[in-house]
Structure 1
Amino acid sequence: MRGNLRRPGTAATDRPGLRTGLRWKLSAAIALVGALVAIALSLVVHNAARVSMLDNARDLADERVLIAQRNYELSDRPNFPNIKIDDPELPRALRAKVERGRRATYVSDLRDGEPDIWAAVPVKGGHVLSLHTGFTDRSTDILNDLDQALVIGSIAVVLGGSALGVLIGGPLSRRLRKAAAAANRVARGEPDVRVRDAIGGVVRDETDDLARAVDAMADALQERLEAERRVTADIAHELRTPVTGLLTAAELLPPGRPTELVLDRAKAMRTLVEDVLEVARLDGASERAELQDIMLGEFVSRRVAAKDPTVEVRVVHESEVTTDPRRLERVLFNLLANAARHGKPPIQVSVEGRVIRVRDHGPGFPGHLLADGPSRFRTGSSDRSGRGHGLGLTIAAGQARVMGARLTFRNVRPAGAPEDVPAEGAVAVLWLPEHAPTNTGSYPMLP
């Protein structure tokens, strides 16, 4: 069976990219809404203040032109500041209203944005008495001060909204991150981890509902997996006795080709039953490593030479390791058997420090198994007969996990060659840990 443990960075979700925390998104949303509200209110307040000041200025101009009208009717001449008779610059719209015998005011905006205020009234002799003033400096200063206050207030609202978003989103973001970390630990096979306990706190919100749902799902999956493991182990255990009897009976048959075929199939069935029992034990997470100190290069050289003298062993760098020799031998032999069954010679084994590499020169691991990793009863071969039962690498990965090691797989291609170029071989790499697990399954504490 060919397979692979997914390497970091190969999944779409592992690709580097811009990630923004929930609290920053919430802060940005509150700040944006605050900015929009502040801008809208500033515009409304500015326009309302400007209209109010213009109304006051028009009322003042209207009062002044009434006083000027009374003075003109008494003295026949304008004796009030900025009063003119028949001013040629009088706006046409205002002149039209006055010619109809009405007193009126008029506001026009100049090019610099400052308003121009007019007031006019008809007087005797068919003349038009008008007053022309601008927006007072005091009103302009008041409006500028108001605009400045609105800008400062808007900035304060945005900053306050950002701070409020961080304060609100911070605890929620931390709870979600703790929940995600705990869920990842559950996914990695730590059944005792509970998301609700990981997030802690006394706040009851949607994160509590999410945590309880994840915990319930993890418990249900764990129960289902445990039930399947027990069924598999029970079936395999019950098959051991009849398979052993079948093998014994086959050995009593008279010599010949039929006897050889029966013996071969009986031995294959016994191997399958033993492998299924081993997988069930590994799935139960009750296996513990029995540690010894060994010289890794010497150990691998002796074991490989006893298993298959044709395999080339190269010790690049010798290293003393603390591991379980029986499980290490099991992993090594399974990798060699997998290379012999699915690859092509020469098969090479190299030892470099704590790393063991097993390479063949066959067609490489199938792509779908490189993506999904070792899978039981899946060989990656279109013809399953005579090609094994797909438990070899599953057992190797399980035994490596018990030792605290990591087992990875890859195909060998020329440098820079695309994925569609046929592989030149397959490499299985066993990474032994620097600090092996204890016989209780835990890892020693570093001083």
Structure 2
Amino acid sequence: MRLVLRTGVRWKIAMAIAAVGALIAVALSLVVHNAARVSMLDSARDMQLDRVTFALRIYESTKTPRFGARLNDPALPEELKEKTEQGRRATYVEERPGEVPRIWAAVPVNNGVLSLQSRFTDRGAAVLKDLDRALVIGSVSVVFGGCALGILIGGRLSRRLRKAAAAAGRMAQGHTEVRVRDAVGGVVRDETDELARAVDALADALQERLEAERRVTADIAHELRTPVTGLLTAAELLPPGRPTELVRNRAQAMRTLVEDVLEVARLDGASERAELQEIALGEFVGRRVTVLNPDATVRVVHEARVSTDPRRLERILGNLLVNAAKHGRAPVEVSVEGRVVRVRDHGPGFPETLLREGPSRFRTGSSDRAGHGHGLGLTIAAGQARVLGARLTFRNATPRNADTTGAHGGAIAVLWLPEHAPTSTGSYPMLPVPDLPA
């Protein structure tokens, strides 16, 4: 299994800036430390050379080494001895692991080499320690400052990206008036604005294409309505018989399809408005279900009065009951609990595609397309629910691959009616409502 590490843009930018800051701080600290150490050692060597020169003058006048100078010191380093043999004055830094460096200076004399040695001053070592401490503190400050700056910059970019993603999600849910550029906002212009403009342009192009397809579909269905009506009228004039019955059935099915397509086109155009009336929901559902499907059982758990469009509510109930009768199995149960209406069958349940993406026209999820509808029923029900400001959800009582022959199987469609009437635009912002048990 491949391990995937998921982090936000804010932390990625912060870690990147912190890593770069740490590398730069370490590199500069090493350079400064080495440069300071070399400078201090060079200064100590110059001072040691001045001291041995002064000791040489004393030696030449008194023939006795003074001020710690030694003649032909056996501990004199070989490198320094070679230089003095060439008649040169020289200095040398002797470094041993774990010890303070020794500063040597030597000059040639008539009977050998006059040399002087001393340890690197404690003051120099203390200065280097203070410098190293200051470099460490500065490096840590740079790293934390880089993290803070990265979080600040990344947080702003992350917020803009989250706003863009939220706006794109709302657009995907059908809110065509939403634009990513407006949601992102801000004064500073960056690549996020280019992305927002590209998404908005894509949304506008898709919206125009969908609108064009809707108009074409509506025009075709409208043009088909007259000949189909004429065909149905002509079929009524045919002599009785089995062929006549088949023609009438097919003509009626074609007329129903044309009317459904026209209704879907009207709902997609967002021009439908609800004609509100106050009704007792339980009593209304009971009467309509008795007419639409006498075999279905109705249970009113809690009565409530709602302001809604009875014609559209009846259309939703009819489509849900027809879908349960076609694709489910008896018994079909309808329950009313306050403003919530449930329609349940005991068949194989809704297809996974519908549960994941919602109802779609001309897609039923059935492997057999012959005589099993066109996927318009649930699409119309969902569209009418939007006009009412309601929410229509779909779920299965058990997974589709489980045994659904018992009483716990089947599909459940839940209609959530709003507490208040929908607005003049035919929509109403609904808060998420927890799914109640069936």
List per-residue Cα deviations over 1:311-335 (Å, max 9, x = no partner): 1222333333332222222112211
CA, structure 1 residues 422+123, in 2 after alignment: closer, same or farther (shift >3 Å)? farther
Q: 1:101-250 counterparts in 2 under 5 A?
A: 102-112=88-98, 114-126=100-112, 128-165=113-150, 168-169=153-154, 171-250=156-235
2: CA distance between counterparts of 1:28 and 1:281? Answer: 53
Match of 1:399 among 384, 388, 393: 384
2: CA distance between counterparts of 1:124 and 1:421? Answer: 109
The 3-state SS of whatever aligns with 1:245 is: helix
TM-superposed deviation, 1:44: 0.7
TM-superposed deviation, 1:407: 1.9
Q: Mean Cα displacement is larger for which, 288-297 or 150-159?
A: 150-159
What residue in structure 2 maps to residue 55 of structure 1?
Answer: 42
Match of 1:65 among 52, 56, 72: 52
List per-residue Cα deviations over 1:30-88 (Å, max 9, x = no partner): 3332332222112111110111111111222222223333433443432113x334445
1:347 aligned onto 2:314: no
Residues 221 and 262 in structure 2, CA contact (< 8 A), matched pair in contact too: yes
List per-residue Cα deviations over 1:364-422 (Å, max 9, x = no partner): 222333333212111222221111121111111111121222222222327xxxx7545
2: CA distance between counterparts of 1:113 and 1:265? Answer: 105
**Identity over aligned pairs, percent:** 73
What residue in structure 1 maps to residue 434 of structure 2?
Answer: none
TM-superposed deviation, 1:296: 2.5
CA, structure 1 residues 300+88, in 2 after alignment: closer, same or farther (shift >3 Å)? farther
Match of 1:315 among 281, 292, 300: 300
1: CA distance between counterparts of 2:262 and 2:430? Answer: 33
Residues 435 and 444 in structure 1, CA contact (< 8 A), matched pair in contact too: no
CA, structure 1 residues 359+443, in 2 after alignment: closer, same or farther (shift >3 Å)? closer
What residue in structure 1 maps to residue 361 of structure 2?
Answer: 376
The 3-state SS of whatever aligns with 2:413 is: strand
2: CA distance between counterparts of 1:66 and 1:379? Answer: 105
The 3-state SS of whatever aligns with 1:313 is: strand
CA, structure 1 residues 412+167, in 2 after alignment: closer, same or farther (shift >3 Å)? closer
1:437 aligned onto 2:426: no
The 3-state SS of whatever aligns with 2:347 is: coil
CA, structure 1 residues 346+165, in 2 after alignment: closer, same or farther (shift >3 Å)? same
What residue in structure 2 maps to residue 11 of structure 1?
Answer: none
1:254 aligned onto 2:239: yes
What residue in structure 2 maps to residue 366 of structure 1?
Answer: 351
1: CA distance between counterparts of 2:419 and 2:120? Answer: 83
Residues 324 and 403 in structure 1, CA contact (< 8 A), matched pair in contact too: yes
Residues 31 and 161 in structure 1, CA contact (< 8 A), matched pair in contact too: yes
AA in 2 matched with 1:391: L
2: CA distance between counterparts of 1:113 and 1:207? Answer: 59
AA in 2 matched with 1:45: V
Match of 1:37 among 16, 21, 24: 24
Residues 290 and 439 in structure 1, CA contact (< 8 A), matched pair in contact too: no
TM-superposed deviation, 1:170: 5.2
1: CA distance between counterparts of 2:87 and 2:429? Answer: 104
TM-superposed deviation, 1:185: 3.0
AA in 2 matched with 1:59: D
CA, structure 1 residues 32+434, in 2 after alignment: closer, same or farther (shift >3 Å)? farther
1: CA distance between counterparts of 2:152 and 2:356? Answer: 41
1:84 aligned onto 2:67: no
AA in 2 matched with 1:77: T
TM-superposed deviation, 1:190: 2.7
Q: 1:286-297 counterparts in 2 under 5 A?
A: 286-297=271-282
TM-superposed deviation, 1:264: 1.1
List per-residue Cα deviations over 1:150-180 (Å, max 9, x = no partner): 2333344334444544555555444444433
AA in 2 matched with 1:274: E
What residue in structure 1 maps to residue 375 of structure 2?
Answer: 390
CA, structure 1 residues 195+372, in 2 after alignment: closer, same or farther (shift >3 Å)? closer
Residues 119 and 132 in structure 1, CA contact (< 8 A), matched pair in contact too: yes
AA in 2 matched with 1:20: G
AA in 1 matched with 2:247: V
AA in 2 matched with 1:272: L
Q: Which structure 2 segments of 5+ residues have no match? A: 432-438
The 3-state SS of whatever aligns with 2:393 is: strand
Q: Mean Cα displacement is larger for which, 144-153 or 97-106?
A: 97-106
Residues 292 and 324 in structure 1, CA contact (< 8 A), matched pair in contact too: yes
The 3-state SS of whatever aligns with 1:196 is: helix
1: CA distance between counterparts of 2:15 and 2:160? Answer: 20
1:20 aligned onto 2:5: no
What residue in structure 2 maps to residue 14 of structure 1?
Answer: none
1: CA distance between counterparts of 2:152 and 2:335? Answer: 55
CA, structure 1 residues 66+178, in 2 after alignment: closer, same or farther (shift >3 Å)? same
2: CA distance between counterparts of 1:133 and 1:427? Answer: 94
Aligned length, in residue pairs:
423
Match of 2:268 among 264, 277, 283: 283
AA in 2 matched with 1:397: A
TM-score (norm 2): 0.86
